[in-house]
């Protein structure tokens, strides 16, 4: 899909959908990856191109996606750090949560 070829309204609509789908699908927005795609894909459109009517709205969506993405990155990083650090000490709960458990002596 080449963005150059789309008329502006469709670009806006696509950007909006990419922003809304994570919110709609799971109710709680478990799709930071989609927001990342939104930001990267529409970044040029929103900020580096000469302005056109819909650009303001596209900018808004890109900014909101970026915000959501940052939030998610923070949450994930925190959780992963906590998990990796305290996994051994949690005993049973740690094992229950674990998808893979490394072998050998830490």
Partner 1 sequence: MNASDSDEDIYNERSALVRSESPALPSYIPDSDLTPPNGTPTKRLKAGISRRPGAAAADGGGSDPEVEAEEEELTLKYGAKHVIMLFIPVTLCMVVVVATIKSVSFYTEKTDQQLIYTPFTENTSSVGRRLLNSVLNTIIMISVIVVMTIFLVVLYKYRCYKFIHGWLILSSLMLLFWFSFMYLGEVFKTYNLAMDYPTVGVIIWNFGAVGMICIHWKGPLQLQQAYLILISALMALVFIKYLPEWSAWVILGAISVYDLVAVLSPKGPLRMLVETAQERNEPIFPALIYSSAMVWTVGMASPNETQRSEPDEEAEQSDGRAEPPSRHSRLLPEDEMEEDRGVKLGLGDFIFYSVLVGKAAATGGDWNTTLACFVAILIVCVPPWTAPPLCDLKHKQELLKTVSPAAAQRHHEHPDDSFINPDCI
In the complex with partner 1, which residue's Cβ is closer, 39 or 54?
Answer: 39
Smallest separation, CB 13 to partner 1 (Å): 10
Smallest separation, CB 55 to partner 1 (Å): 19
| Contact between 53 and 89 (Cβ < 8 Å) | no
In the complex with partner 1, which residue's Cβ is closer, 56 or 81?
Answer: 81
| Contact between 68 and 35 (Cβ < 8 Å) | yes
- Interface with partner 1 (CB under 8 A): 1-2, 5, 14, 21, 25, 30-34, 37, 40-41, 76, 79-80, 83-84, 87, 97-104
| Contact between 87 and 94 (Cβ < 8 Å) | yes
- Distance in angstroms (rounded) separating the CA atoms of residues 23 and 10: 20
- Distance in angstroms (rounded) separating the CA atoms of residues 14 and 7: 11
In the complex with partner 1, which residue's Cβ is closer, 14 or 62?
Answer: 14
């Amino acid at each position: 899909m080449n963005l150059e070829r789309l008329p502006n309204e469709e670009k806006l609509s696509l950007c909006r959908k990419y922003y809304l789908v994570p919110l709609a699908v799971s109710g709680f927005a478990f799709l930071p990856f989609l927001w990342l795609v939104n930001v990267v894909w529409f970044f040029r459109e929103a900020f580096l191109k000469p302005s056109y009517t819909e650009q303001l709205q596209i900018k808004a969506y890109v900014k909101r996606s970026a915000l959501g993405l940052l939030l998610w990155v923070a949450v994930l990083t925190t959780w992963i750090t906590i998990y990796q650090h305290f996994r051994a000490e949690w005993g049973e709960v740690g094992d229950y949560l674990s998808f893979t458990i490394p072998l050998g002596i830490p």
